[in-house]
Structure 1
Amino acid sequence: MHRLLNELHQDHVNLGRVLRILENQLGLLRAGADADIHVLGEIIDYVQSYPDLVHHPREDMIFAAYRARALPGIDVIERLMAEHRTLLDSTAQLKVSLEQWHCDSPMPREQVAGQIDDYLRLQWEHLNLEEGSIYGMLAEGLGEEDWAGIEAGLPPGSDPLFTDQMRRRYQNIYERVVESAY
């Protein structure tokens, strides 16, 4: 498999770890306990800073190259590209809801929990679709010339949660990932 697909796969592994932390926070909310608002905020900031702004645009470039070759599976590629936009909007909406809830708005705990639950479902379904079939299809359908063109136009960036430089920014999430012995 091409190096870029391996990097994107690792991003999915990392995001999966973060989503499991979000699931744990959701469990606390559903049990009537207090979720850690700092962890929730860091999760949203992380998703907005890396998956939404770097990871998904990288995938979209690869998807566009595949689509340009008019290979089978374009309908799934189109769906995934649309889901990237939906996920971007969903993350922004969840951020607003969490901020309002944190500021003691009249938003019920159940409503926040439901929104987190919906968000998690969207994220997991998207990850599973990409990992389940699309990456293999991309590996088979794109040649070295395609990959060279993609690499030339990729936005820079690496996953900030798993680099020494940015670990402090996401300290609460990082500690929970380490605790879970990923």
Structure 2
Amino acid sequence: MTILNELHQDHINLNKMLAILRLKVKKLRAGNHPNFSLMADVIDYISNYADAYHHPREDGLYRHFHGRSSELDALLTNCEEAHQNMRVTCLELSETIDGILHDAVIPMDEFTDKLEVFLDEQDEHLNLEEGSLFPMIQGVATDQDWAQLITELPKSDDPLFGEKQAVQYTELYKELLVDMNE
């Protein structure tokens, strides 16, 4: 599997997490209270896996291809900045959900709006990478580039979608199984 294929698979997995959050937003908008603990797990997974493994891997890929064209460089810079912004947004959402779980009084409309902004931001970013950036990289990459990147950008085991699920994501994994069977 190539690095771009692996990153694409990560995006598919991240989209599954985003789909769970979208369902929770619908519940919130309908006046129901979703499983906030599960929402915390989703944000935790996105934050921990994406920020600790996925985005650094992408950023390494982007640094490697920097300087190939001004159009590509502009997209690369945009994505690296988006990774930094998404890290901040994840942290803010995580803190808000933690507050909710600890009985802090937080207006649900405000929280739901934050979630929707987060989801829109994630969708826009994934669409940019999948629709524009990855194809541009594929167009300029050589076999030598991929051989070098395989050694420079080792893959980490995914704590949710990998061979062994982390105990902290047991409830989230069960939710995914329910969603896949519906």
TM over 0.5: yes
Question: Conserved in 2, the CA contact under 8 Å of 1:18 and 1:173?
Answer: no
Match of 2:148 in 1: 149
**Match of residue 15 from structure 1:** 14
**Is contact 2:157–2:163 with CA below 8 Å preserved after alignment?**
no
Rounded Cα–Cα distance in structure 1 between residues aligned with 2:52 and 2:143: 25
Residue 170 of structure 1 is matched in structure 2 by: 169
- Tell me, in whole angstroms, the C-alpha distance in 1 between the residues paired with 2:27 and 2:117: 16
Summarize the alignment of residues 47-58 of structure 1 with structure 2, pairs less than 5 Å apart.
47-58=46-57
Closer/same/farther in 2, CA of residues 113 and 105 from structure 1, 3 Å limit: same
Shift of 1:156: 4.2
Identity of aligned pairs, percent? 31
Whole-angstrom distance in 1 between the partners of 2:71 and 2:128: 16
Amino acid aligned to 1:6: N
- Contact 2:67–2:73, Cα closer than 8 Å, also in 1: no
Structure 2: gaps spanning 5 or more residues: none
Match of 2:94 in 1: 95
- C-alpha distance in 1, partners of 2:180/2:165? 20
TM-score calculated relative to the size of structure 2: 0.92
SS at match of 1:81: helix
CA distance in 2, matches of 1:164, 1:158: 7
Distance 2:70 2:138 in 1: 12
Match of 1:160 in 2: 159
Aligned to 1:6: 5
What amino acid maps onto 1:69 in structure 2? R
Deviation of 1:86 after TM superposition, in Å, equals 0.5
| Counterpart for residue 118 of structure 2 | 119
Distance 1:179 1:167, change over 3 A: farther
1:106 and 1:167 map into 2 onto residues whose CA distance is: 31
Q: Is the 8 A contact 1:57 1:155 kept in 2?
A: no
Distance 2:107 2:49 in 1: 29
Q: Distance in 2 between matches of 1:164 and 1:148?
A: 25
Q: Secondary structure at the match of 1:80?
A: helix
TM-score (norm 1): 0.92
* Number of aligned residues: 181
Letter paired with 1:153? E
Secondary structure in 2 aligned to 1:105?
coil
Give the Cα–Cα distance (whole angstroms) in 1 for the partners of residues 49 and 100 of structure 2.
24
| Unmatched 5+ stretches in structure 1 | none
